[in-house]
Amino acid sequence: MQLALTILMDGLIYASWLFVVALGLTLVFGVLKILNIAHGSLYAIGAYVAASMVTLFASWGLGGHFALIAMLLAAIGVALVMGPLMERYLLRLFYGRDEVVLLLVTYALFLILEDAVKLIWGVNPYYVSEPYQLFGNVAFASLFYVGYDFALIGLAVVCGIAVWFALNRTRSGKVVLAVIFSREMSASMGVNVDKVHMIAFTLGIFLAALGGAFTAPMISVQPGISVSVIIVSFAVIIIGGLGSIEGAAIGAVIVGLARAAAVHLMPEAELFSIYLVMAAVLIFRPEGLFQRAAARKI
C-alpha cells in the first residue's frame, strides 16, 4: 500500500513536467504537422537559460520567490527568440514536403542546437537548487514530499487547462482549430495561416522551455538532458495520440507511472519500461489512445 502510494506520487510528479513539454510537442504537431525532434533541445535551452537567469537574479539580490519570475522570464525569452526564428527562417522552407523529411530537418536542427548549447554553456553541469526549497516540505500520507514537486503538478494542470480553454473556448483558438482541420479551407476563408503557424509554434516552444526552466532546480543541467526528454515526450504523445491534449495528459501519467513502478520494483528496467509501454499501446491502438479515425483518401 505504502509502495503503491509512493509509486503513484513519484509517477505524478514525473508526469507533471513531462506533460508540459509533451503538450508543446503535440500542439506543434497538431497545427504544423511537424514532429519536432529539436523540441528536446528547446527544453534544454530553457533549463540552461533559467539556470543562468536565477543566478543573475540572485546576484542582483533578488533571491527567494523572484527565482520563479526569473524562470518564467527565461521560458518566455527562449520562446520569443527561438520560436519565430526557427519557424519563419527554417521550417517554412520545408512546408509541403514529406512528414519524414520535416522530421529529419528537425533532427538536423537538434544536432546543431546540441552543439550550440555546449558552445555557450560549456559541458560542466549547472546546479540551481535554491528554488527547489521555496515551498518547504509537505507531509503527505506519512511520507515527506518537497512542496516544489506539488507546485509542478499545479503548473501542469494550469498549463493543460489554459491550452484546452484557449483552443476550445476562445475565438482565436477556434481559428487555430480550423487551421488544424484544413489549412487550405481556412486560408481561403481569410485566416492568416502563416501567422497561426508561427504563434502555435512559438507557444509550443514556450511550453518546452517552461518545462525545462521549472525542472532546472530539480536536476543537474548538463549536456544530454535534451535527448532523454525528447524520446520520453515522443512516447507520451504517441501513446496518447498525436495532436491530442487529453492524450498527452493520459500519456504523461501512463509514462510517469510506468517509470516510477519500474524504478521501485525493477530498477534495471527503468530505461526501457517506457518503450515497452509505448510498444504495448501501439500494438492494440496503432494510432494511439485518443486518435480519431481519419478517412483514407484515395
- Dihedral of CA atoms 148, 156, 280, 259 in degrees, nearest 10, equals 0
- With residue 137 as reference, give the H or E element that holds it: strand 137-140
Q: Is 265 in the site for another protein (CB under 8 A)?
A: no
Enumerate the H helices of 146-240 as residue ranges. Answer: 147-169, 171-181, 183-188, 193-215, 225-240
Q: Is 121 in the site for another protein (CB under 8 A)?
A: no
Of 140 and 272, which has the nearer Cβ to another protein? 272
Distance CA 53, CA 42 (A): 16
Distance CA 164, CA 21 (A): 15
User: What residues have CB less than 8 Å from 129, skipping those under 6 apart?
Assistant: 217, 218
Q: Is 110 in the site for another protein (CB under 8 A)?
A: yes
The answer to whether residues 291 and 241 touch, using CB atoms and an 8 Å cutoff, is yes
Candidate list 66, 145, 164, 275; residue touching another protein; CB under 8 A: 275
Q: Is 293 in the site for another protein (CB under 8 A)?
A: no
- Nearest 5°: phi and psi at 72? -65, -45
Of 118 and 195, which has the nearer Cβ to another protein? 118
Q: Is 252 in the site for another protein (CB under 8 A)?
A: no
Cα radius of gyration rounded to whole Å, the chain? 19
Candidate list 81, 84, 94, 264; residue touching another protein; CB under 8 A: 94
Q: Is 269 in the site for another protein (CB under 8 A)?
A: yes
Site string for another protein, 29-48 (x = CB under 8 A): ------x-------------
Q: Is 193 in the site for another protein (CB under 8 A)?
A: no
Candidate list 60, 61, 98, 190; residue touching another protein; CB under 8 A: 98
Q: Which positions touch another protein (CB under 8 A)?
A: 35, 90, 93-94, 97-101, 103-105, 107-112, 114-116, 118-119, 231, 234-235, 238, 242, 268-269, 271-272, 275-276, 278-279, 282-283, 286-288, 296-298
